[in-house]
Amino acid sequence: MEEALRGAVRDGRLPAGERLPSSRSLAADLGVARNTVAEVYAQLRAEGWLEARQGSGTTVAHMPAATDHAAVSRNGADPVFRYDLRPGTPDLSSFPRRDWLVAARHALAEAPDHLFGYGDPRGAAPLREALAGYLARARGVIASPDRVLVCTGFTQALGLVGRALAATGARTIAVESYGLAGNWGVIAGAGLEAVGAPVDDEGADLAIVTDADAAVVTPAHQFPLGCVMSPARRSKVVEWARASGGVVIEDDYDGEFRFDRKPVGALQGIAPNHVVYAGTASKTLVPGVRLAWLVLPESMVEPVVAEKTVADRQSGVFDQLTLAHLMSSGRYDRHVRRRRLAYRARRDLLVDAVSRGAPTCEVRGISAGLHAIVTLPDAIDENAAVAAGAGIGLGLQGLSVHRLPAAPGPLLRPALVVGYATPPGHAYGPALRRLSEVLGASGRSPKWSSDDRRDEMLSAADVGKRTR
């Protein structure tokens, strides 16, 4: 019934604005339980096919009637897929709501009144103190509260540092030849030019960018290739900074999630006077908690704080105080440990699914983080794989979209960047089954089971067994 309704909306047989029967009436007509119809309506509303307004019942949403894939776009944003394996987002359903509420109540009850006013642009003192302790303990960062600056996500963090560097005469920032495309626009917006540095299985190689004024690297888990920067390459990056006077910006976006051995410490711990450390709550908690942090070399504190003051004066204090209490109470560490176990189980399920369903593919970059690289068979290119996935409601992303235009080094083998943290637990199994069908399709239209409820129940049970 769900697929029939979705198909009727997709091909225009049910036009936009068409009012559907009530769940009670349709259940009686079809001879099924009312709850079944209600669940179908709820799912299609969540996907954007239907909408419900008080007093108007359920109607067909206004969207293009003809589309060749099971995804919709809302307000110009990225398409919304029922099963999403695109990277960049943790499991949003894992947000520790209860712990966050407890921490918020304590933080607001205990906070002195002066914290609610115009405060230090670097951030609320309780959070800067909590971060200094946590980062030293968990990531090996050499930090003192006076060198910590709180901001609203890595995007703002990179922009602040970029503008501070540009104000001192900097012109270029080296970036990894395969990296997060959004960073290139932020760098350009700061008045700087992004130049490519080769990246291989040992991480970024800055040997050919000796004229760059700074470099952005992802040492703990390179995005998107998934490699961990080798000790030798780390030493060379630090040597580059000391010899050139350049600044290294360390994006430690998912450094807490190391699976096969203890986490690799932050690069900043080797050279705190040459490395700007950047971390975020977007992966350990959720992106909606707009909190990130910089640990700055002493020489950069004043210029970056000046840029923060101009940008927005200070980040919101209530969430800062809540996160500070979450960290100081130990709940943050416990949440990270739980998520590390859960994401390791998901990684193992991904490797197992690919090895069984598409044995000619290789899964790489699996020692850490929230994503992996899955190489493609010769018969399938990236665009075809992404399109095939979209056709069955599966969000996929190709590796090539992360290559800096005109970057040095060879093009890598076509692959998918699979975000195994993204789907909620109940949807992970069905997502992997669709991925296996796309990888094994070799140009054929993939098929998938219509028994989504059974698949989702099995998925949740399997992940639960592996995390206990």
**Mean pLDDT, to the nearest integer, of 234-243?**
94
Mind listing the pLDDT tens digit for each residue in 352-389? Answer: 999 999 999 999 999 888 999 999 987 788 999 999 99
Residue ranges making up the domain that contains 436? 333-467
pLDDT reported for residue 274: 96
Indicate if 114 and 177 belong to the same structural domain: yes
* Domain termination site, one of 309, 329, 349: 329
Indicate if 113 and 250 belong to the same structural domain: yes
Is 84 within a domain? no
Residue 77: pLDDT band (50, 70, 90) is low
pLDDT over 60 (residue 110)? yes
Mind listing the pLDDT tens digit for each residue in 339-349? Answer: 999 999 999 99
- Return the minimum-mean-pLDDT range out of 9-23, 152-166, 172-186, 228-242: 9-23
Indicate if 397 and 312 belong to the same structural domain: no
pLDDT reported for residue 38: 86
Query: Which CATH number belongs to the domain containing residue 443 in this structure?
Result: 3.90.1150.10
Mind listing the pLDDT tens digit for each residue in 402-450? Answer: 999 887 776 788 999 999 999 998 899 999 999 999 998 644 444 434 3
d(C-alpha 447, C-alpha 268), whole Å: 48
**Beta carbons within 10 angstroms of residue 129's beta carbon:** 16
Tokens 């703990």 belong to 220
Is 92 within a domain? no
Mind listing the pLDDT tens digit for each residue in 57-73? Answer: 888 887 543 333 345 44
- Helix or strand holding residue 108 (H, E): helix 97-110
**Mean pLDDT, to the nearest integer, of 237-241?**
94
pLDDT reported for residue 14: 82
Mind listing the pLDDT tens digit for each residue in 79-93? Answer: 788 899 999 999 999
- Helix or strand holding residue 216 (H, E): strand 214-217
* Domain termination site, one of 329, 358, 377: 329
Query: Which CATH number belongs to the domain containing residue 62 in this structure?
Result: 1.10.10.10
Is 75 within a domain? no
The CA-CA-CA angle for residues 207, 160, 229, to 5°, reads 35
pLDDT reported for residue 46: 66
Is 343 within a domain? yes
pLDDT reported for residue 460: 47
What CA dihedral angle connects 112, 116, 117 and 123, to 10 degrees?
Answer: 100
Residue 456: pLDDT band (50, 70, 90) is very low
**Mean pLDDT, to the nearest integer, of 85-110?**
95
pLDDT reported for residue 70: 45
Indicate if 312 and 442 belong to the same structural domain: no
148-151 and 394-395 strand pairing = unpaired
Closest CA to 404 of 181, 189, 246: 181
Contact 420, 85 (CB under 8 A): yes
Is 73 within a domain? no
pLDDT reported for residue 441: 65
Indicate if 6 and 32 belong to the same structural domain: yes
Is 364 within a domain? yes
Indicate if 429 and 386 belong to the same structural domain: yes
pLDDT reported for residue 444: 45
Query: Which CATH number belongs to the domain containing residue 186 in this structure?
Result: 3.40.640.10
Domain count, the chain: 3
pLDDT reported for residue 39: 82
- Return the minimum-mean-pLDDT range out of 11-20, 146-155, 446-455: 446-455
Indicate if 385 and 398 belong to the same structural domain: yes
Mind listing the pLDDT tens digit for each residue in 22-38? Answer: 888 888 878 888 888 88
Residue 255: pLDDT band (50, 70, 90) is confident
Q: What is the CA radius of gyration of the chain?
A: 24
Contact 112, 87 (CB under 8 A): no
Using a cut of 0.85, tell me whether the model's pTM lies above it: no
Six-digit token string for 248 = 């290294």
Indicate if 375 and 303 belong to the same structural domain: no
Is 81 within a domain? no
As a whole number, the mean pLDDT across the chain is 87
Percent of the chain with pLDDT strictly greater than 70 = 89
pLDDT reported for residue 64: 42
Indicate if 160 and 249 belong to the same structural domain: yes
Is 429 within a domain? yes
The residue among 402 and 464 whose pLDDT is bigger is 402
**Beta carbons within 10 angstroms of residue 296's beta carbon:** 28
pLDDT over 70 (residue 185)? yes
* Domain termination site, one of 329, 350, 367: 329
Indicate if 347 and 434 belong to the same structural domain: yes
Indicate if 41 and 128 belong to the same structural domain: no
Indicate if 202 and 138 belong to the same structural domain: yes
Those residues whose C-beta lies under 8 Å from the C-beta of residue 51, and which sit 6 or more positions away, are: 45, 58, 59, 60, 61
pLDDT reported for residue 67: 36
**Mean pLDDT, to the nearest integer, of 262-275?**
90
d(C-alpha 29, C-alpha 445), whole Å: 33
Most confident by average pLDDT, 52-61, 316-325, 451-460: 316-325
